[in-house]
Amino acid sequence: MQWISPPPALSDPLTYELMGGESVFSQNSWYYYGQAGFFTPLNWGRMNHQASESPDVGTAGTSSPTLHLFVQVTDLVYLTTPAPTPHAFSSYEGVNPAVGIRIPIPGGFVEGDAGVALADAFQPMSPVTVDTGLFLQGEFYRTAGPGAFDLFANYTGYIAFTYIQARYLLPVYHGRHFSLFAGPEDIGEFSYNYWAGQGGGVIGLLLPDIKSYLTFDAGILRSSAGEGAGGYEGFSWYVSF
């Protein structure tokens, strides 16, 4: 899951966004997601805190507080025990409508979002149910030293699932038509019957001509759904217009 996005044009009254991606784990779990939404200025006055242009790792920088409305669709599948057995996987196909505010700070932004999480739940030896709960999400992004630090977290209430991701991205190449970034990441995932800890690296490709940002990440995984250590890989693609 990556949530670093290309910068909207600050003169535009609306900036729309589309995003999709996946995370696949060797220890019997995977996650797919998509998002559509838009940013609109709140006209609370210009704060003169834009995301830094150097390095620009795709953050949606704004010069004033901005309203963010979006809808996520998700497909989360995971094994609840280390030993696979027939019908042992839990699956949640959900949708999360949410609204939040992005506030600029020197060199970046902070954002908080809240909404409703709904999902069709497919669980072992149980009828299909519709689960609902609270959806919360937040992000802190700021340039730091030669790179930029990005901290992202969300909470899905119907399974008490918390996802926390920290990344530090460094500029590797900056050109006229694309820029390349890379750095380490650390991820934690927790729910009432599943946990995972991940550590690895991420590569980001910024294509400013089409306001697009593509990321790839991979690393080592340890989770409650597998014995010993495993691995994970993921990607995301974000476009704004």
Q: Domain boundaries in the chain?
A: 15-240
What average pLDDT does this structure show over 60-77? 85
Q: Is pLDDT at 44 greater than 70 in this prediction?
A: no
What average pLDDT does this structure show over 38-53? 63
Predicted local distance difference test score (pLDDT) of residue 227: 82
Predicted local distance difference test score (pLDDT) of residue 137: 97
Q: What is the Cα Rg of the chain in Å? A: 18
The region, left, alpha or beta by phi > 0 then psi within -120 to 50, assigned to residue 141 is: beta
| Selected residue with higher pLDDT from 119 and 11 | 119
Q: Is pLDDT at 87 greater than 90 in this prediction?
A: no
- Chain-wide mean pLDDT for the chain? 84
Q: Is pLDDT at 24 greater than 60 in this prediction?
A: yes
| Selected residue with higher pLDDT from 61 and 4 | 61
Q: Is pLDDT at 50 greater than 50 in this prediction?
A: no
Assigned CATH topology for domain 15-240: Lipocalin (2.40.128)
What average pLDDT does this structure show over 145-167? 93
Which of 62-66, 102-106, 210-214 is least confident? 62-66
Q: Of 59, 62, 15, 53, which Cα lies nearest the Cα of 150?
A: 59
What average pLDDT does this structure show over 60-74? 85
DSSP 123-178: -TTS--EEEEEEEEEEEEEEEETTEEEEEEEEEEGGGTEEEEEEEEEEEEEE-SS-
What is the Cα–Cα distance from 1 to 176, expressed in whole angstroms? 27
Predicted local distance difference test score (pLDDT) of residue 216: 95
Number of helices (H), then strands (E), in the chain: 0, 12
Going from the C-alpha of 12 to that of each of 9, 37, 45, the distances in angstroms are 6, 15, 15
Query: Quick one: tokens of 225?
Result: 């759904």
